[in-house]
Amino acid sequence: MQHNVILLIFDTLRKDSIYPYNPNLNTPAIKKLVEDSVVFPNAVSPASWTPPAHGSIFTGKYPSKSGIHENLQDIADFSYLIDSYSGKTLSEVFSQNGYNTYSYSQNNLVGGDTGFSRGFHVNFYTRNEFDDKNTRLRLNYNKIINDWGTDARSVLKTLFKKRDFLDFSKKYIEMRMDRQWLKKANFADKGGIATIENIRQSKLEEPFFLFVNLMEMHDPHEYKSLKIGWQDSVFGEANELSKFRSTIFGGYEKAATDLDIIISNLLKMLKEKGYLENTIIAITSDHGQSLFEENRYYGHGNLLLDKIIEVPLILKLPETRKFSVGRGYQSTSKIYEFIPQIAMENVNYDVLTNNVCFSESYGSIEKNILKYRNKNNFQAKFDKVNSIRKAVYFDEYKLVVNLTHGQVEEFKRNGKPVQINENRNKYLEMISEIETFSWNEDLIFP
């Protein structure tokens, strides 16, 4: 028997922002779903932002093995990278096994116009005015600082030199209008309910594999967070902005509770259409979000902090079947192997959990960082953040190493920092794991 499969990715959802990882949340639909589900306690994302994390889920390989990751020189064309991947993607596995495959994404990085459309019979990108205006605002801002300058004096100087007043005026006016609109926007509603309604109105032919990416949890979480990015954390500017943390965190928590409505609508739709009893539902996230907890860092994308790479993973099986989760860690890259096995009744419940797992970051060039290029410490701080990092989870420990500069950035046991000298043998074991994992890369080990 072939079961239907829904892979539901709540983009940027922290593990501690969904029930039962946070039991204090008032989310009745999610709570009811969890009662009949398997909850994995130690799921880890292989990467700290959308394309490489999704790339691992869709290929079953870590970013360094699939080649789907950023680099230290520029932002890669991820559509090209996954298009050039020689293996089968998750959607292709299902398609070649007789499944009808559907993709409904709110994230344009993994939408229908990217290489992530491979293997899907239907690709649907849910547009919403919030996302359109926010994207245009960021694009115009990036163009202004890149073409004309980062302050009023440099902008005026460049304008008089280039004589492109009309182009600048258009971009500046658009940016101001979008900013005014966003001041009044509902930041919690990024199109999730509309996406479920679009699925409801479509005809899903069984057996089906349905991939859904929902952006409710992705920043910005309210208007003030429009001004903050990971680069502001790197250059210390987020220290001042962190006084808005309670407001930003409140917006993030509001989005998390709104997920309950989305889950409720999804389950209602499945029941109405008669799919629920024969459908596997997997809920996870591509990565989380740091909200100033560690090193006053805000956002995701470069560092391998707990709040960024430790993610939820919940599995609802047909007929409310359950199984015991083994001791260890669950890399979301294992979804690629695990979900098709369960869907096609070739069950190996031990596939998902291992005693060791990894996460990686390969640096990133972003134009937003250019506003700091005139600071005296720009190059030193930029070099530090734009580095190759590897994290390894092993037994009760986590180790994060900057392998561009040969530095240890984190060493923890059960989430708390510990000294290397007092845990020397475990530290050496974990370094050995990273060396083996990175055997074909020219890196500096501490």
> Mean pLDDT in the chain?
87
Both tokens of residue 98? 């007789």
d(C-alpha 324, C-alpha 353), whole Å: 11
pLDDT band at residue 179, thresholds of 50, 70 and 90? confident
In angstroms and rounded to an integer, the radius of gyration of the C-alpha atoms of the chain is 22
**Nearest Cα to 311, choosing from 69, 52, 42?**
42
- Distance, in Å, from the CA atom of 13 to the CA atom of 119, rounded to the nearest integer, reads 26
Residue count of the chain, please give it: 446
Amino acid occupying residue 4: N
Residue 356: per-residue pLDDT: 97
The tokens describing 291, both together, are 């909200």
Which pLDDT band, with edges at 50, 70 and 90, does 43 fall under?
very high
Contact 351, 337 (CB under 8 A): yes
Instruction: Give buried/exposed letters for 274-298 (b at 16+ CB in 10 A, else e).
Output: ebbeebbbbbbbbbbbbbbeeebbb
**Amino acid 146: pLDDT:** 76
Residue 267: what pLDDT? 94
- Is 178 in contact with 136 (CB distance < 8 Å)? yes
Instruction: Enumerate the β-bridge partners of residue 280.
Output: 5
For the stretch 9-24, pLDDT in tens is 999 999 999 999 999 9
pLDDT of residue 161: 80
For residue range 62-82, list pLDDT tens digits in order: 999 999 888 776 655 666 778
Domain range summary for the chain, segments of one domain joined by +: 4-127+189-386, 129-188
Instruction: Find all residues with CB under 8 Å of 35, minimum gap 6, and list them.
Output: none
How buried is 263 (Cβ within 10 angstroms: 0-12 exposed, 13-18 middle, 19+ buried)? buried
d(CA 125, CA 111): 6
Q: What proportion of the chain, given as a percentage, has pLDDT over 70?
A: 93
CB contact at 8 A, 358 and 331:
yes
SS3 310: strand
- Topology of the domain covering 4-127+189-386: Alkaline Phosphatase, subunit A (3.40.720)
Q: What is the percent of the chain with per-residue pLDDT over 90, rounded to a whole number?
A: 50
Beta bridge partners of 299: 290
Q: What is the distance between the alpha carbons of residues 222 and 248, in angstroms, rounded to a whole number?
A: 6
Predicted pLDDT of residue 200 = 92
The strand ranges marked E within 172-323 are: 208-214, 279-284, 290-291, 298-299, 313-316
Any residues with CB less than 8 A from the CB of 28 and at least 6 apart, and which? Answer: 260, 264
Residue 77: its pLDDT value, please?
62
Cα–chain center distance at 384: 22
Residue type, 336: Y
Of 372, 401, 366, nearest to 139 by C-alpha is: 366
Helix (H/G/I), strand (E/B), else coil: 380: helix
Determine the Cα–Cα distance for residues 352 and 92; give it in Å rounded to an integer: 20
> Is a pLDDT exceeding 80 seen at residue 367?
no
3-class secondary-structure state, position 394: strand
Alpha-carbon span 331 to 236, nearest angstrom: 32
Task: Evaluate the omega torsion of the peptide bond into residue 220 and state whether it is cis, within 30 degrees of 0.
Answer: yes
What is the Cα–Cα distance from 117 to 93, expressed in whole angstroms?
13
Continuous segment of H or E residues that includes residue 182: helix 165-183
The reported pLDDT for the residue numbered 384 is: 74
Predicted confidence (pLDDT) per residue in 306-360, tens digit: 999 999 999 999 877 888 898 999 999 999 999 999 888 777 778 899 999 999 9
- Considering only CA atoms, which of 219, 52, 252, 241 is closest in space to residue 138? 219
- Look at residue 419 and tell me whether its pLDDT is greater than 80: yes
Whether 225 shows a pLDDT value over 80: the answer reads no
Whole-prediction pTM value? 0.90
Question: Between these two residues, 35 and 241, which has the higher pLDDT value?
Answer: 35
Mean pLDDT lowest for which of 10-14, 132-136, 409-413, 432-436? 132-136
CA distances from 123 to 33, 139, 411 (A): 27, 25, 42
pLDDT tens figures, 240-264: 666 677 888 888 888 888 889 999 9
End-to-end alpha carbon distance in the chain? 51
Closest residue by Cα to residue 104 from 181, 7, 19:
7
Tell me 222's DSSP state: S
| CA atoms of 25 and 199, how far apart (whole Å) | 27
Mean pLDDT of 15-39: 93
